[in-house]
Amino acid sequence: MTEQQDQQGPFLYVVVCAAGVAADVGRLITAAQERRWRVGVIATPHAMNGFFDTAAVEERTGRPIRSAWRRPDDPRPFPAPDAVVVAPATFNTINKWAAGIADTLALGTLCEACGLGVPVGVLPCVNETLAGHPAYRDSLIRLRGTGVRFAEPRDRTRGEDFGWERALDLIE
Ligand SMILES: Cc1cc2nc3c(=O)[nH]c(=O)nc-3n(C[C@H](O)[C@H](O)[C@H](O)COP(=O)(O)O)c2cc1C
């Protein structure tokens, strides 16, 4: 990627959580790039632990995946986002985000995104049993109240496609 290409187009943060479907996150990155987004991936520490092919994602985006905070004297690795998507979004991350917990870079980024005024889209990957937990229902209400957009759940156990491109539809 030339420096000029690297500075063209709006910048999308893709936040990746530790759900099994994360193995296919390359589909979202490719679709975003086809829609002219530049993409930077921020993964939870759990997601970095074998949930997706990190080398392939870094090659596809042309940027290192971020998972930990930079050192104070390091430059900001990504520009400010024009939009943020969380895909897949876990039960754990959605609840911590709604509660304002920022103990990982991914959560800190999401907590900040609510105040940035940029579109934020979420593809939850939460099974029906967990989705019935009262904290989860409250989290959705709270985050929707700040303008965060959620896609309808898809049941992958019934063979439904995760529908990665819906994340882009939510923010465009
Ligand atoms: C193979 C595997 C698949 C998982 N899939 C999901 C999932 O689809 N949704 C979910 O909410 N948690 C799932 N989990 C549990 C999360 O990884 C766990 O709650 C973790 O704490 C989430 O961390 P994160 O939100 O920081 O990424 C899965 C765990 C494993 C080991």
CATH code of 145's domain:
3.40.50.1950
Compute the distance between CA of residue 147 and CA of residue 65 in angstroms, rounded to an integer: 26
Q: Which amino acid makes up residue 73?
A: D
Q: Is 42 touching ligand 1 by the criterion CB < 6 Å?
A: no
Number of domains in the chain: 1
Range of the domain at 123: 6-70+78-171
Q: Is 20 touching ligand 1 by the criterion CB < 6 Å?
A: yes
Output the residue whose Cα is nearest ligand 1's atom 26: 44
Compute the distance between CA of residue 55 and CA of residue 65 in angstroms, rounded to an integer: 9
Q: Could you tell me if residue 104 is inside a domain?
A: yes
pTM value?
0.95
Alpha helices in the chain (DSSP H): 3-6, 25-34, 54-61, 91-98, 105-116, 128-131, 134-145, 166-171
pLDDT in tens, 76-133: 889 999 999 999 999 999 999 999 999 999 999 999 998 999 999 999 999 999 999 9
Compute the distance between CA of residue 56 and CA of residue 3 in angstroms, rounded to an integer: 21
pLDDT above 70: percentage of residues in the chain: 95
Place of tokens 């893709």: 14
Q: Could you tell me if residue 1 is inside a domain?
A: no
Sort 148 into a burial class: Cβ within 10 Å, 0-12 / 13-18 / 19+: buried
